[in-house]
């Protein structure tokens, strides 16, 4: 009976580490939380899954060094409207400088 109990306990201990996904483990690591802290309620889920705020400035920076086709797809997906080579959103105007089909500079004006 003791051997069976020992085998069961060792099995649980061995498989416990794979109870969370690798992505969740990395998020916990980045947040400074451990799986034990999270289980004890010491880490709020908002700290672990905190999305970055998307602003016109961060979106303009995001398209730098992208192929223009990928940049255009990204800008369209985030609500930018193209008009005569310029992009418009929320009162902002974004102008892209493209060389060899790659965005090499972006200017954002309000």
| pLDDT digits (tens), the chain, 110 positions | 777 776 666 665 555 455 567 777 777 677 777 777 777 777 765 544 545 668 999 999 999 999 999 999 999 999 999 999 899 999 999 999 999 999 999 999 99
Task: Record the pTM.
Answer: 0.53
Q: Please check whether residues 68 and 43 belong to one and the same domain.
A: no
3-class DSSP assignment, residue 33: coil
The domain tally of the chain equals 2
Strands (E) located in 1-110: 81-83, 86-89, 92-99, 102-109
Per the structure, the complete domain to which residue 28 belongs is given by 2-48
Residue 45 has what pLDDT? 54
Q: Please check whether residues 65 and 36 belong to one and the same domain.
A: no
Q: Please check whether residues 12 and 30 belong to one and the same domain.
A: yes
């Amino acid at each position: 009976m003791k051997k069976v109990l020992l085998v069961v306990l060792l099995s649980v201990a061995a498989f416990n580490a794979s109870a969370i996904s690798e992505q969740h483990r990395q998020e916990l690591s980045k947040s400074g939380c451990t799986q034990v802290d999270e289980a004890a309620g010491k880490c709020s889920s908002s700290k672990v899954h905190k999305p970055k705020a998307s602003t016109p400035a961060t979106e303009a920076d995001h398209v730098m060094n992208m192929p223009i086709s990928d940049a255009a797809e990204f800008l369209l997906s985030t609500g930018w409207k193209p008009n005569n080579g310029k992009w418009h959103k929320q009162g902002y105007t974004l102008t892209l400088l493209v060389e060899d089909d790659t965005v090499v500079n972006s200017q954002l004006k309000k």
